[in-house]
Amino acid sequence: MELSFVDVEDATLQVILQEPNVPITPEEVTMAQVIENPAYYDCRLVKLNNVQFAASDTTMTYAVEHGSATQNRNMTSCDGNTLVARNSDYADFAGQPLPKGSGSVVGIMTRYITNSNTGTKTTYQIIIRSTDEVNMENERCD
């Protein structure tokens, strides 16, 4: 996640201070809403409903336990949109298996933008804070 204050005269106008010991309530959104308005959701705490890990990833763990990098795991929504769950190998849940069902996930939305001579590509990502915020016990929707 990158915070950039280029061309900002007063950075304090761009930062929201939170009261201590007051939890932030995640905004409930769909993948489609995030993809349609990525700048608004960038670095926001969200709850995505009706999502699941891609079937091809359900044999994997969140990340590589005792690894030293980050891992991408593909997620899909029940209406066909996709994004990446970006998980750290340092997370205490790195070695836990991904859930096989569908449901909801809470995390911080980000976007990874790459530029090349073929153009700009944006990858939408959610950073999971805890598996306590992953509830995927429903039947798969694919």
> What secondary structure, in 3-state letters, does 34-65 show?
HHHCHHHHCCCEEEEEEEEECHHHCCCECCCC
Q: Which two tokens stand for residue 59?
A: 């044999």
Domain residue limits at 43: 23-138
- How many C-beta atoms surround the C-beta of residue 34 within 10 A? 23
123 assigned to some structural domain: yes
Q: What is the pLDDT of residue 122?
A: 85
pLDDT by residue for the chain (142 residues), tens digit each?
445 545 556 666 666 667 788 888 999 999 999 999 988 999 999 999 999 999 999 999 999 999 999 999 999 999 999 999 999 999 999 999 999 999 999 999 998 888 989 888 888 899 999 999 999 999 999 8
**Of 34, 76, 29, 25, residue with least CA distance to 49:** 29
2 assigned to some structural domain: no
80 assigned to some structural domain: yes
126 assigned to some structural domain: yes
Q: Which two tokens stand for residue 131?
A: 């598996």
How many domains in the chain? 1
Q: What is the pLDDT of residue 137?
A: 97
CA distance 39 to 45: 13
121 assigned to some structural domain: yes
52 assigned to some structural domain: yes
Q: What is the pLDDT of residue 69?
A: 94
Q: What is the pLDDT of residue 15?
A: 67
pTM of the model: 0.82
75 assigned to some structural domain: yes
Q: What is the pLDDT of residue 6?
A: 55
61 assigned to some structural domain: yes
CA distance 14 to 42: 13
Tracing tokens 């993948």 back to the chain, one arrives at: 31
Q: What is the pLDDT of residue 123?
A: 87
Tracing tokens 């994997």 back to the chain, one arrives at: 60
CATH number at residue 64: 2.40.50.140
